[in-house]
Amino acid sequence: MAKQKIVVKVTMNTEKKIRKALKIAVSLSGVESASFVGSDKTQIAVTGEDVDSVELTTLLRKGVGYTELLSVGPVEEKKPAAAKESNPAVASLNVNPYEYYYGSYGMPYYAYQI
């Protein structure tokens, strides 16, 4: 099944209910992300694969309060405007182990020449 986006409107009056609603939303199996949307942040957008929207709504009603299922639909995939297929430049990082300060512990065992 493809990824889907579920938008649910929840009545959340206190910080405790806001935390509880988000906790319930991410506890379902298949949920990849959950975030607040809308101008007044009363809507929760849940994105995931094989997420049951009725189960989500029922759990939010039991745990938080009034819940309204607004929309269920596929996730809009963002496609890059200009896909760059060229090989990116690889940067290497050279670390000198002698430049770190070890204080009174002395040098580490790998720093000594054997």
pLDDT at 16: 93
- Tokens 């054997």 locate to 114
The answer to whether 57 and 67 have CB atoms below 8 angstroms apart is yes
SS3 of 54, please? helix
User: How do residues 49-72 score in pLDDT, each as one tens digit?
Assistant: 999 999 999 999 999 999 999 999
pTM over 0.85: no
101, pLDDT greater than 80? no
3-state secondary structure 65-85: CCEEEEEEEECCCCCCCCCCC
pLDDT at 33: 93
pLDDT at 85: 59
